[in-house]
């Protein structure tokens, strides 16, 4: 596993010939079809499912007619029909093969373009197979006082995911009614959390969020023959490595555009609620000084100290739960203070939910960033990965 101080060129990776491979309906596309794929673009986003877009040459120069859609050739007919299973691999071929399965899912749409210039292209879109479970949103919480809490210090992600996976589908509580495929011993390596919140999220997207936190894979691995239920796998990925890349301006970063903003920052968060059982008021406040702020941003802290946000629409059951919600709100806001977008050489393991360390750009904008979104593109310019991220709060933090 690479560490946060290991630059990309020191991680034993090959960056020779960009390579991609596509399977449709369980079969590799033939070389003649692959030759027509002008661009492959994979996108993932923290809190959402990933997707793939292909740009395909749709003109047969010999026959002088569309090649794939509308197609009169039995050889190409239906190659990219929506509903078919789809898998894409991206990476490099060199001294050693260095590629990853980026996504497995199904083709969701096709869009031919008939341009004035006469060049015909076909855009093929595919989405993750987990999209079929994106049905209902829930708000729920797990804390160290929850009934049946398995760990004295709180909940671990594997425990939460197992509970949601095996719970029945209902309107008022998370549940997917699936077969859980994961070793409970994985939880022994996860840090117990005293409070985990699910805020108006689709169940499957919440599970994906927990998977990315741990660099786990989340996918449907099969169907249980006795019940007919889908089997949901939640476990460390054999394909995707847990890498924290070090990227530097002038070396591995092609471009980097950071932004520092205090517009939505506050120095205090107060949560007001009412206990439904007793009718008594619940109030708790959190100061940004309790969370800590990056030491090199301490001057900024003086500008926001007098600002306050009051939350009155959050259902909480205790002062402790209100305090936890206030802390989470404050952390999320502080993490939004420094945001950035950038581009680097194509890195198959750079995914949403990972971290990168940015070097050579000064103290305010340098440091560890949490990756919110990535786009991996193989085309005329080779293989590049672009990303958006926010700087992680707490590096050398002062309270």
pLDDT tens digits for range 295-351? 777 777 677 777 878 888 777 777 877 888 788 888 888 888 899 999 999 999 899
Q: What is the overall mean pLDDT for the chain?
A: 84
| High-pLDDT (> 90) share of the chain, % | 39
Residue 274's contacts (CB-CB under 8 Å, 6 or more residues apart) are 280, 281, 282
pTM of the complete model: 0.81
CB 251 within 8 A of CB 195: no
| Total length of the chain | 399
CATH architecture observed for domain 8-128: Beta Barrel (2.40)
pLDDT tens digits for range 100-137? 889 999 999 999 998 777 689 999 999 999 999 998 89
Is pLDDT at 45 greater than 70 in this prediction? yes
- The CA–CA distances, whole Å, from 31 to 23, 123, 125, 175, 269 equal 12, 19, 20, 43, 58
pLDDT of residue 163: 93
pLDDT tens digits for range 143-168? 765 556 666 678 889 999 999 999 99
pLDDT tens digits for range 254-269? 999 999 888 878 878 8
Mean pLDDT along residues 235-251: 76
Q: Was domain 245-261+339-391 assigned CATH 2.40.30.150?
A: yes
How far is residue 295's CA from residue 308's CA, in Å, rounded to a whole number? 22
């591995």: which residue's tokens?
252
CATH number belonging to domain 134-236 = 3.55.50.10
Confidence of residue 46 (pLDDT cuts 50, 70, 90): confident
- The CA–CA distances, whole Å, from 261 to 99, 310, 334, 369, 372 equal 37, 21, 10, 16, 17
Mean pLDDT along residues 352-365: 89
């Amino acid at each position: 596993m690479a560490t946060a101080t290991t630059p990309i060129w020191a991680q034993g990776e090959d960056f020779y010939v960009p390579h991609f491979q596509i399977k449709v309906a369980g079969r590799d596309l033939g070389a003649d079809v692959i030759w027509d794929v002008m661009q492959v673009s994979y996108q993932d986003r923290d809190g959402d499912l990933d997707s793939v877009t292909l740009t395909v040459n749709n003109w047969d120069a010999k026959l002088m007619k569309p090649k794939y859609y509308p197609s009169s050739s039995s050889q190409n007919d239906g190659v990219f029909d929506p509903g078919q299973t789809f898998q894409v691999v991206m990476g490099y071929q060199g001294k050693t093969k260095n590629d990853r399965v980026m996504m497995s899912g199904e083709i969701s749409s096709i869009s031919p373009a008939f341009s004035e210039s006469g060049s015909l292209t076909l855009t093929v879109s595919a989405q993750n197979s987990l999209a079929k479970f994106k049905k209902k949103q829930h708000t729920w919480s797990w804390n160290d006082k929850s009934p049946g809490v398995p760990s004295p210090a709180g909940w671990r992600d594997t425990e939460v995911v197992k509970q949601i996976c095996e719970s029945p589908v209902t309107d008022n509580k998370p549940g997917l009614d699936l077969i859980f495929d994961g070793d409970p011993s994985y939880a022994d390596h996860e840090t117990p959390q005293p409070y985990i919140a699910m805020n108006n999220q689709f169940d499957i997207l919440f599970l994906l969020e927990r998977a990315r936190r741990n660099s786990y894979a989340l996918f449907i691995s099969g169907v249980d023959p006795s019940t007919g239920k889908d089997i949901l796998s939640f476990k460390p990925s054999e394909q995707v490595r847990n890498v924290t890349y070090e990227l530097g301006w002038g070396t591995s970063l092609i471009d980097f555009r950071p932004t520092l903003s205090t517009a939505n920052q506050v120095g205090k968060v107060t949560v007001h609620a009412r206990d439904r059982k007793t009718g008594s008021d619940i109030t708790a406040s959190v100061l940004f000084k309790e969370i800590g702020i990056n030491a090199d941003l301490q001057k900024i802290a003086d500008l926001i100290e007098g600002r306050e946000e009051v939350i009155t629409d959050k259902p909480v059951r205790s002062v402790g739960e209100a305090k936890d919600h206030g802390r989470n709100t404050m952390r999320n806001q502080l993490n939004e203070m420094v945001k950035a977008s950038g581009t680097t050489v194509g890195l198959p393991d750079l995914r949403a939910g990972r971290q990168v360390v940015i070097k050579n750009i000064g103290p305010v904008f340098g440091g560890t960033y949490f990756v919110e979104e990535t786009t991996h593109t193989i085309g005329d310019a080779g293989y590049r990965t672009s990303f958006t991220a926010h700087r992680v709060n707490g590096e050398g933090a002062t309270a």
